[in-house]
Amino acid sequence: MKGVCVKINLKMAFPEFQKEYQKLNKAQKQAVDTIYGPLLVVAGPGSGKTQILSLRVANILQKTDTLAGNILCLTFTDSAAANMRERLRQIIGRDAFRVAIHTFHSFGVEIINRHPEFFYNGADFSPADELAQREILNSVVETLNYNDPLNKIEGEFGQTRLKSIKDAITDLKKGGLTPEEFSAVINYNEKELETLNSLFQTVFSDRISKKTITEATKLVAKIQKIKFTNDFPVSFFKPIHELILNSLTQAITDCATELTKPITAWKNKWLKRNENGDLSFTNLTKTTELKSLANIYKLYIQAMRDRGYFDFDDMLLDTIQAVQTNKVLAYELQEQYQFILVDEFQDTNNAQMRLLDLIAQSKISPNEPNLMAVGDDDQAIYKFQGAELSNILEFKDRYGAETIVMAENYRSTSFILDFAEKIIKQVEERLEGRIKGLNKKLTAVNPARSGGEITLKSFPTDIHEYHWIAETVQNLIAKNEPLNEIAIIAKEHKILRRVATQLLAIGISTAYEQQRNVLEQPHILQIVKISEFLLSQSDDHLPEIFSYPFWELNREEIWKISLNARNNKITWLEEIKNNGSQKFKDIANFLIELSSIAQYETLEHVLDELIGRPVSLMIIGDTYRPDVEQKRLTKFNSPFRDFYFGQDSLKRDPQSYLLFLSALRIFYSALKEYRQGELLKISDIVEFTRLRQKHKLPLADQTPFGDIKNAVNLLTAHKAKGQEFNSVFITSCQNEIWAKNRGRRGLSFPENLPITPAGDSQDDQLRLFYVAITRSKRNLFISAHQTNESGKRSSLLNFVPESFENATDSPSEESVASLESALSDFYRPPLVTSEKTLLRTYLENYKIKPTHLNNFLDISQGRGGPQTFFEQNILLFPQTQASYLSFGSAIHETIKNIYSFLKNHGELPEFKIIESWLESYLKDKRLNSRDFNQYFEKGKDVLKIYIERNKNNFSSSDLIEVDFNNQGVVLDNASLSGRIDKIKILNPGTVDVYDLKTGGLLKKWETANADDAVKAYKNKNQLGFYKLLIENSTDFSKYKVNRGILEFIETDPKENPILELEFDKDFIARLTKLIQVVYSKITNLDFPDVSKYSPDIKGIFEFEEELVNSK
């Protein structure tokens, strides 16, 4: 059923679909109408591919009996996925949220989350951050023999080739190669090359001449007769002898017009002298090194598994292995995703291609999947070296896919397209040269795109160039060009930073996702320095520590203490004790006391004291337990938090507040990931910082701040992909920048493993420049400078086909002077006076969860309601989880493992295995020794009772810890998410939903006890929320929820642990309205004052009533 075209019955179409379909050109309609079978769409820039993808999904839904959840759309960035879903929502409405729209990575995550029993033997593994990966790899390399080729020392710090090895392993994973497959390829290559080596030595040992060409022709014929084995270990790569033969044959052919140059170039690429002076294949000389890499790769994977880790690139590789080895999983995925659409197909790597191939297979038509691939080889800027066309050509050849070319451009003027054509025609490897009759020449068809200009200017220096860009932007704005329709595109971030200073100097706002190193933020440095003192109590740290602004100490007194300590040859602490003011003494005593506590207390709790968080915030969780309230460890309340994050700070300086908070949150998060499962002490914060500095690993914060919808866009060419602007500036167009090779990578792969990222060839450089040019709708400004910042001459970009105009525009003295202040302000976010404008970045793609709803509504004593919700759930102020909540998490994770074991083995695990899981999860929570021992003993008792009580109720069909984040649940305009503890399938159309509870038993829904009344209210909301999640989700909407059940795990064996809830229609309708209203309040940053309500269940009901009745 190849490329079956289904004509549209417009009377049956979605109304918006009919309207948009009528606007399509012939090629676009063909792409939308061709529903069944494999289809390749070659879509040039600005040809409307996002619209085509969306309309084709709509067409599938209206012309087949396919459900929205049976359609899979794959793209490359989260923003592209969000744009596709929004476009689809405009056409088909709420069903858009049920279509599976993913990046390849999020798709892998979704498969692992939904089928945990097929991964890591059902155990919970955690993502390893960059530091953990580097440290684990370092531990592997340290085990190598001293003469191992990859154990050589290099670099200023005397390190091994750690970064080169890590980069190579990343390439292997993206290439879809396991350690075993990579090792097999290296061994296979070695055998083939040893077979060929002596033959090639005979022909190529002497200087290249015409005779060499004749002998090489005979050699090709001879090799073609050799019977090589057909068992090449990896089907999606080719044996190396094929590449040698094909390339040599081509070189011989080229010699007909270029004499001996091609054969000389071939020899230089493939052959070299070894240490004995003998000619040998270059790949043979690398064999020992590559075998070492294969060994390291294998050991690294095992070490990661032993520590319960995976990394970002493992997600796809592990998913591929699971689908390949588990037919049940493969069939389920193939059955679910009956139609697949892939965007940016030219940038797919081999791992992504392997997964796609596995999912697209069908028992009915294995070679004719309903698979649409949309791509453009001219925009391949993320592909592997030498493989820009392979996936597209392989897709076409393998499936016999029909090919549609979309070359009508709706974005740009004809002048810009003509200029872009001159660039892309210089690319040697294009589809036009590989597919007969293919014509990709773009045609401007948008009548609204008229006028505009193309300007090419060259300046004496970068300052002149960037000044001209800033003034030209200013002139465009004066002519009413919207700021967000202007983009400045550069090859490198450092150039964007320099341009930004010019724009800031004249008051123009910029939108630039700059990376800030958290470890360079002043308040983080202060935490680290104080930690160093707590560890060492070294007097040398105190002058700096006492100068920190949050202490609000008198500067004169600081100098006096410093002078007296030096003159009297005593320590600062002694001088403060003898002559310091009471405030100085209090701080000194606090530091001494905290230093003593830090010797035995966990890092998290020491940081709590250091930051000075109020106790009330430390105990907020899903369950309020005043009986186990967290106590302070010190008498002194640190002013750190109030100084940087006090109640007035957000309103007074929202930018600094959010910048500092974002850094603090990322810092806490990184510390939690550091050495997972180990108990951290204050020494670890110092070691964590030292190791990041040693490995040159910044702790990046890319949180955007500012009104990015009303600012000039600063983008790298890679980041600009998929975007469009009315006016585009392409800056610093010199060979040293746009046509610069990155230099030799530390480790290279054989030619039959084209898995090194592209970017060094001229074709790669031309494609990237082409992408930058085709972002422009109307105005294109290309600029360069002739002398770089070091004073060296810089050559203009050689592949720009037109001449640059020499310009001498000079910045005024005033603008040069203003650059100094602009440089100092660059790392601050752009000035925005509106607090809400800044905070909206926190709410992009927000989804409300059951705990969010309850936290917003709960105004009972000590809870806080909307304002506390704002700080804890939106601003996400970092806080240590109370120990009883950590216990509850460990119990839930252990129960999840029990069910995974049951699904894998058909029986319950022995209790000693369960006990080991509980111990491991409690260790992950990093409780102090007292709490760990208490909760470990308690947990064993709780789980014994739970298992004994449920031994006849465990079922492998029960769904555990089901995540609804990617289930597209929407109520009106409110997006919902959440995680359900257990879903028990009663029959093909009905389920019960369970919430497993640690903590005190709730015996009935109606109660006079004040605390239990609030608990009952929140639990009813939670179970009702779960019902709405299931019945409005992509994958579970076929079920109706029969009952909601609370199951209390900590109950006495003699007590009934179950509390059931029969859902009332009026309750669900009211809850639906309440969720929609609260969602609207949150996304509009409307957090009402609730002081007029009593802090009890009566006040909660009154607050709820007001919300439900609000407009």
Cα–Cα distance measured from residue 396 to residue 403, given in angstroms and rounded to the nearest whole number: 8
**Mean pLDDT, to the nearest integer, of 710-725?**
92
The per-residue pLDDT of the chain, averaged, comes to: 87
* Residue 745 pLDDT: 61
Backbone phi, psi, residue 361, to 5° = -60, 145
Asked if 313 and 182 count as a contact pair (C-beta separation under 8 A), the reply is no
Q: Is residue 991 located within the same domain as residue 1067?
A: yes
Q: Is residue 731 located within the same domain as residue 650?
A: no
Q: Which residues, in sequence order, are CB contacts of 678 under 8 Å at separation 6+? A: 923, 926
Q: Is residue 690 located within the same domain as residue 721?
A: no
**Mean pLDDT, to the nearest integer, of 65-78?**
91
Cα–Cα distance measured from residue 732 to residue 749, given in angstroms and rounded to the nearest whole number: 33
Burial class from Cβ neighbours inside 10 Å (0-12, 13-18, 19+) for residue 802 reads exposed
Asked if 238 and 261 count as a contact pair (C-beta separation under 8 A), the reply is no
Single-letter code of the amino acid located at 66: T
CA 436 to chain centre: 39
Q: What is the per-residue DSSP string for 1011-1041? A: HHHHHHHHHHHHHHHHHHHHHTSTTTTT-EE
What is the radius of gyration, based on Cα positions, of the chain? 32
Residue 395, in any domain of the structure: yes
Cα–Cα distance measured from residue 1057 to residue 1051, given in angstroms and rounded to the nearest whole number: 6
Q: Is residue 328 located within the same domain as residue 290?
A: no
* Buried b / exposed e along 867-882 (16+ C-beta atoms within 10 A): bbbbbbbbbebbbbbb
* Residue 127 pLDDT: 82
Cα–Cα distance measured from residue 971 to residue 980, given in angstroms and rounded to the nearest whole number: 18
DSSP 169: H
Q: What is the per-residue DSSP string for 661-721? A: HHHHHHHHHHHHHTTTTSPP-HHHHHHHHHHHHHTT---EE----S-GGGSEEEEEHHHHT
Residue 941's SS3 state is: helix
Residue 20's SS3 state is: helix
* Residue 163 pLDDT: 86
Residue 139, in any domain of the structure: yes
Asked if 731 and 456 count as a contact pair (C-beta separation under 8 A), the reply is no
Contacts of the segment 892-896: beta carbons below 8 A, 24+ positions apart: 892/961, 892/981, 892/996, 893/124, 893/917, 893/921, 894/918, 894/921, 894/939, 894/943, 895/943, 895/946, 895/960, 895/996, 896/116, 896/124, 896/960, 896/961
* Residue 925 pLDDT: 86
Per the structure block, which two tokens stand in for 446? 């948008």
Which stretches does DSSP call E strand in 89-208? 100-103, 126-127, 153-154, 159-160
Terminal CA-CA length for the chain: 53
Q: Is residue 142 located within the same domain as residue 284?
A: yes
Q: Among 65-69, 369-373, 654-658, 1016-1020, which is the least confidently predicted range? A: 654-658
* Residue 861 pLDDT: 72
Single-letter code of the amino acid located at 36: Y
Q: Which among 1023, 1018, 995, 998 has a CA at the least distance from the CA of 885?
A: 998
DSSP 842: G
Handedness of CA 1045, 1050, 1052, 1053 (dihedral sign): positive
Q: Which among 283, 882, 385 has a CA at the least distance from the CA of 625?
A: 882
Residue 878 has pLDDT above 80, yes or no: no
Residue 115, in any domain of the structure: yes
Per the structure block, which two tokens stand in for 528? 């680290």
Q: Is residue 323 located within the same domain as residue 353?
A: yes
Q: Of 917, 933, 955, which residue sits at a domain end?
A: 955
Cα–Cα distance measured from residue 1100 to residue 1108, given in angstroms and rounded to the nearest whole number: 12
> For the chain, how many structural domains are there in total?
6
Q: What is the pLDDT of residues 617-646, one digit of tens each?
A: 333 334 444 334 455 567 789 999 989 888
Percent of the chain scored above 70 by pLDDT?
Answer: 91
**Mean pLDDT, to the nearest integer, of 764-769?**
94
**Mean pLDDT, to the nearest integer, of 480-487?**
96
Cα–Cα distance measured from residue 45 to residue 697, given in angstroms and rounded to the nearest whole number: 36
1063: confidence class by pLDDT, cuts 50, 70, 90: very high
Q: Which among 939, 932, 315 has a CA at the least distance from the CA of 678?
A: 932
Residue 289 has pLDDT above 90, yes or no: yes
Q: What is the pLDDT of residues 92-129, one digit of tens each?
A: 988 888 899 999 988 998 898 888 888 877 667 788 88
Which stretches does DSSP call E strand in 267-335? 271-273, 279-281, 309-310
* Residue 657 pLDDT: 83
Q: Of 245, 279, 306, which residue sits at a domain end?
A: 306
Asked if 308 and 316 count as a contact pair (C-beta separation under 8 A), the reply is no
Asked if 693 and 737 count as a contact pair (C-beta separation under 8 A), the reply is no
Residue 90, in any domain of the structure: yes
Residue 83, in any domain of the structure: yes
Residue 837, in any domain of the structure: no
Cα–Cα distance measured from residue 1018 to residue 1002, given in angstroms and rounded to the nearest whole number: 12
Parent domain of 944: 881-955
Q: Is residue 677 located within the same domain as residue 734?
A: no
Asked if 688 and 674 count as a contact pair (C-beta separation under 8 A), the reply is yes
* Residue 572 pLDDT: 92
Percent of the chain scored above 90 by pLDDT?
Answer: 55
* Residue 376 pLDDT: 94
Distances (CA, A) of 786 to 470, 735, 762, 803, 959: 18, 11, 21, 14, 65
Per the structure block, which two tokens stand in for 680? 């951290």
Cα–Cα distance measured from residue 62 to residue 451, given in angstroms and rounded to the nearest whole number: 41
Q: How many residues does the chain have?
A: 1111
Q: What is the pLDDT of residues 250-282, one digit of tens each?
A: 999 989 887 889 999 999 999 998 878 889 999
Q: Is residue 677 located within the same domain as residue 796?
A: no
Distances (CA, A) of 757 to 172, 186, 382, 736: 11, 20, 7, 20
Burial class from Cβ neighbours inside 10 Å (0-12, 13-18, 19+) for residue 506 reads middle
Burial class from Cβ neighbours inside 10 Å (0-12, 13-18, 19+) for residue 1101 reads middle
Asked if 370 and 745 count as a contact pair (C-beta separation under 8 A), the reply is no
Q: Which among 115, 66, 129 has a CA at the least distance from the CA of 95?
A: 66
Q: What is the pTM of this model?
A: 0.82
Which stretches does DSSP call E strand in 33-177? 34-36, 39-43, 71-75, 100-103, 126-127, 153-154, 159-160
Burial class from Cβ neighbours inside 10 Å (0-12, 13-18, 19+) for residue 390 reads middle
Q: What is the pLDDT of residues 980-1010, one digit of tens each?
A: 999 999 988 999 999 999 988 899 999 889 8
Q: In terms of pLDDT, which residue wins out, 526 or 703?
A: 526
Q: Which among 829, 821, 778 has a CA at the least distance from the CA of 510?
A: 829
Residue 975's SS3 state is: strand
Residue 888, in any domain of the structure: yes
Residue 1041 has pLDDT above 50, yes or no: yes
CA 459 to chain centre: 39
DSSP 874: I
Q: Is residue 638 located within the same domain as residue 501?
A: no
Residue 755, in any domain of the structure: no
* Residue 928 pLDDT: 83
Q: Of 406, 435, 468, which residue sits at a domain end?
A: 406
Residue 746 has pLDDT above 80, yes or no: no
Cα–Cα distance measured from residue 468 to residue 477, given in angstroms and rounded to the nearest whole number: 14
Q: Is residue 272 located within the same domain as residue 168?
A: yes
Q: Which among 890, 843, 837, 888 has a CA at the least distance from the CA of 869?
A: 843
Instruction: Point out which residues pair with 727 in neighbouring strands.
Output: 486, 779
**Mean pLDDT, to the nearest integer, of 556-581?**
90
Q: Among 14-18, 427-431, 864-868, which is the least confidently predicted range? A: 864-868
Residue 769's SS3 state is: helix
Q: Is residue 575 located within the same domain as residue 690?
A: yes
Domain of residue 586, CATH code? 1.10.486.10
Asked if 960 and 899 count as a contact pair (C-beta separation under 8 A), the reply is yes
Q: Is residue 1110 located within the same domain as residue 963?
A: yes
